[in-house]
Amino acid sequence: MNRFLSPVLRSLFAGALLAALCGLAQDGAAPKKPDKKPTPPALLPIQDQEGLPRVLVIGDSISIGYTLPVRKLLEGKANLHRIPTNGGPTTNGIKNLTKWLGDGKWDVIHFNWGLHDLKSMPDGTPQVSLADYEKNLTALVTQLKATGATLIWASTTPVPEGDLKPPRSNEDVIKYNEVAAKIMAANGVLTDDLYAFVLPQEKGLQLPVNVHFTAKGYQALAGQVAASIEQALPKK
């Protein structure tokens, strides 16, 4: 009887030991890294439709929100590209504009910087001071003009009242827009005044206590942006 049980017990013991060792190996393994988040569709590159003018959109998350509906509105009229990221403050533009422009020819460039520049940092100062914003934006416009494209400046959209995180104020938006307007006038750059477009209907388009927009808001912005771009497209 003992001779019969002994091999069985040995087999069971070996199986249990193997399972335990496997469990230890799994417990000791490095945790699996989470899958990388997919790139938002608005940031993906597009293939040009031959014969259509090429348009580049440069801007922050506000422009990311209206990129796809603008592209839809300009379907068959223009190849609408955008930079593959959030444009951030002017300091980010200074570092990356050459890469964003690439080697291709642009017919129209619709661009904005501002909301990230005027964002309040923990010490209460803006991320980019008004003086540095003026210097940076002037340099960026000079580089954009060198492309030969028709340029369209998009004024920075309003900041609603409330405890925003990170902090921003509409008073600063007005100041930064005034500096930008001076630069655009000096350089003969067209303006798509998104600030003036949004302000009268701000509560119907923006999220509560948030610089971003509802789906309805982004669609409204897209209509305004598409119209400004279409007017600047090369005449056939």
Residue 144 lies in a domain: yes
Residue 26 lies in a domain: no
For Cα atoms 188, 189, 195, give the angle at the middle one, nearest 5 degrees. Answer: 130
The pLDDT of 174-183, averaged and rounded, is: 98
Is omega for the bond preceding 41 within 30 degrees of 0, making it cis?
A: no
Residue 120 lies in a domain: yes
Look up residue 86 and give its two tokens: 């959030």
Look up residue 140 and give its two tokens: 């960026």
Alpha carbon distances (Å) from 19 to 15, 24, 233? 6, 9, 69
* Type and span of the H or E element at 192: strand 190-192
Residue 27 lies in a domain: no
Q: How confident is the model at residue 193 (pLDDT cuts 50, 70, 90)?
A: very high
Residue 36 lies in a domain: no
Residue 2 pLDDT > 90: no
pLDDT at 73 (0 to 100):
98
Task: Give yes or no for a contact between 114 and 140, defined as CB atoms under 8 angstroms apart.
Answer: no
Q: What is the mean pLDDT of the chain?
A: 90
Task: Give yes or no for a contact between 187 and 232, defined as CB atoms under 8 angstroms apart.
Answer: no
CATH code of residue 198? 3.40.50.1110
- Residue 200 DSSP class: G
CA dihedral for 115, 138, 92, 58, sign (positive or negative): positive
pLDDT at 32 (0 to 100):
62
User: Would the pTM count as exceeding 0.75?
Assistant: yes
- Cα–chain-centroid distance for residue 50? 26
Residue 22 lies in a domain: no
pLDDT in tens, 43-82: 999 999 999 999 999 999 999 999 999 999 999 999 999 9
Residue 89: how many CB atoms within 10 A of its CB?
21
In the block, residue with structure tokens 């400004």: 228
Look up residue 66 and give its two tokens: 């209206």
Residue 9 lies in a domain: no
pLDDT in tens, 4-36: 444 444 444 444 444 443 443 444 455 566 667
Number of domains in the chain: 1
The pLDDT of 192-212, averaged and rounded, is: 97
pLDDT at 8 (0 to 100):
42
Q: Which domain holds residue 182?
A: 41-232
Residue 209 lies in a domain: yes
pLDDT at 83 (0 to 100):
98
